[in-house]
């Protein structure tokens, strides 16, 4: 088992900086997820660790060993790609065993590792089949099994579930999480799907334009995003953002978004006092906006008038798309809500969960 360290790692392709001064320590046995939009540098960071790309500057360590100049085959890692890349003419058993045969592993050891991996993944009855006889989920299990038999120090996953349908992706998310607990090995996983990141990771590294935006547990990223990018990327639907001004009136601190004004809770006043009279960006998540009939007790609820433009019934909740003047609002409300399109309604903002950002730096105001 091994930790992984990125020390001031940069990767440039010509004039394009794909990874920009990445500093990151991944603990032994941790499940870390790189997440971000397409082209942000997350896969490049993984390929640098695997040795599939050369580092422009900086150092990568696996355990205590610097691996900058170590060939991929000698880094003691195993990688699972988006493409299953199975050999179509080989059985599942031979696909799992192929890498070990190339390393001249003894036959008895190959048999032990293949059977053990097949048992872990529940594909023991598929060992004699060819890939064309397997479903997408079964093929992905074989691809993961091919990594498991290597018994590496670090597992690398590059968007392994992208080719699966929605239902199977959810099932395989749980399977990979269980696999991590069972193997007790370091997992590093790349995805653009923030739901995968939130449900699987012990920590998440959010990347944008080659820069690490924030590194923390899923709950901290959700509750305390460092900037507007993280706030908007983590959570679905995305956080609502409104251009606003922070005002003081009758001893109260108010967020004035033009078409609505909401009060800041007393316990936030000190943190925000330095921005009185200044422009801010006010953020609130859709799930922190309520139908007034179903506001939970004990919160600072602020009323906002709006017009219903679209409703989406999701079964266990309703998504409301609202307009408050020029401000567009998305809310996730109780399924008992009976609002209709064109209704003029009142919704309640949970101000205990509001966020303020500096519009110039886009950093959170604490």
Pairing of strands 31-35, 203-208: parallel
Please write the tens of the pLDDT for every residue from 222-271: 999 999 999 999 998 999 999 999 999 888 899 999 999 999 998 888 88
Q: What is the DSSP string of 182-230?
A: HHT-EEEEEES-HHHHHHH-SEEEEEETTEEEEEE-HHHHHHS-SBHHH
Sheet with 186-191, edge to edge strand ranges? 77-80, 154-158, 186-191, 31-35, 203-208, 211-216
Q: Which pLDDT value is given to residue 1?
A: 60
Q: Which pLDDT value is given to residue 91?
A: 94
Q: Which pLDDT value is given to residue 354?
A: 95
Query: Which residues partner with 190 through β-bridges?
Result: 34, 158
Q: Which pLDDT value is given to residue 331?
A: 98
Mean pLDDT, each 10-residue run in order, the chain (366 residues): 93 96 96 95 96 96 95 91 85 92 90 90 90 88 88 90 81 87 92 93 97 97 97 95 94 93 92 92 98 95 97 95 96 96 97 96 94
Q: Which pLDDT value is given to residue 21?
A: 97
Cα gap 224→244, rounded to integer Å: 20
Nearest to 264 by CA among 277, 280, 248, 279: 248
Query: Which residues partner with 325 through β-bridges?
Result: none
Cα gap 316→204, rounded to integer Å: 28
Cα gap 172→230, rounded to integer Å: 26
Domain 4-233: CATH class, spelled out: alpha beta
Q: Which pLDDT value is given to residue 183?
A: 87
Question: Architecture of domain 240-357 in CATH?
Answer: Beta Barrel (2.40)
Each domain of the chain, given as residue ranges in start order, spans 4-233, 240-357
* Displacement of CA 129 from its chain's centroid (Å): 35
Nearest to 317 by CA among 283, 353, 289: 289
Q: Which pLDDT value is given to residue 166?
A: 81
Burial of 224 (C-beta count, 10 Å sphere; 0-12/13-18/19+): middle
Please write the tens of the pLDDT for every residue from 317-359: 999 999 999 999 999 999 999 999 999 999 999 999 999 999 9
Q: Which pLDDT value is given to residue 264?
A: 94
Cα gap 153→169, rounded to integer Å: 25
What angle in degrees, to the nearest 10, is found between the helix axes of 107-121 and 166-183?
A: 130
Q: Which pLDDT value is given to residue 36?
A: 95
In degrees, to the nearest 5, what angle opens at C-alpha 234 toward C-alphas 12 and 32? Answer: 60
């Amino acid at each position: 088992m091994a930790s992984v360290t990125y020390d001031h790692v940069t990767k440039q392709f010509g004039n394009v900086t794909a990874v920009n001064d990445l500093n990151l320590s991944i603990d032994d046995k941790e499940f870390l997820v790189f997440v971000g939009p397409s082209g942000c540098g997350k896969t490049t960071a993984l390929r640098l660790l695997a040795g599939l790309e050369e580092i422009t500057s900086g150092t990568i360590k696996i355990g205590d060993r610097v691996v900058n100049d170590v060939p991929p085959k000698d880094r003691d890692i195993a990688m699972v790609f988006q493409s299953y890349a199975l050999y179509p003419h080989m059985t599942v058993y031979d696909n799992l065993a192929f890498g070990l045969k190339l390393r001249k592993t003894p036959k008895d050891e190959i048999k032990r590792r293949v059977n053990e991996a097949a048992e872990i993944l529940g594909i023991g009855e598929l060992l004699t089949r060819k890939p064309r006889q397997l479903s997408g989920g079964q093929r992905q299990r074989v691809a993961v099994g091919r990594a498991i038999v290597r018994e590496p120090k670090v597992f690398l996953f590059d968007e392994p579930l992208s080719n699966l349908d929605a239902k199977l992706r959810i099932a395989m998310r749980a399977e990979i999480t269980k696999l991590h607990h069972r193997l007790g090995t370091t997992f590093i996983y790349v995805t653009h799907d923030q739901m995968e990141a939130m449900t699987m990771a012990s920590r998440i590294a959010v990347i944008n334009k080659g820069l690490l935006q924030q590194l923390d547990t899923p709950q901290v990223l959700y509750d305390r995003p460092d900037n507007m990018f993280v706030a908007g990327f983590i959570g679905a639907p995305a956080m609502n953002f409104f251009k606003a001004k922070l005002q003081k009136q009758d001893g109260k601190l108010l967020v004035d978004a033009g078409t609505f004004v909401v009060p800041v809770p007393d316990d936030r006043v000190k943190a925000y006092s330095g921005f009185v009279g200044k422009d801010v960006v006010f953020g609130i998540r859709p799930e922190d906006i309520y139908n007034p009939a179903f506001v939970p007790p004990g919160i600072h609820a602020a009323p906002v008038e709006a017009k219903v433009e679209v409703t989406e019934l999701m079964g266990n909740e309703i998504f409301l798309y609202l307009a408050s003047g020029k401000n567009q609002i998305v809310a996730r409300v109780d399924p008992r809500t009976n609002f209709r399109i064109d209704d003029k309604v009142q919704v309640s903002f949970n101000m205990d969960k509001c966020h303020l950002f500096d519009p110039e730096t886009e950093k959170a105001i604490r």
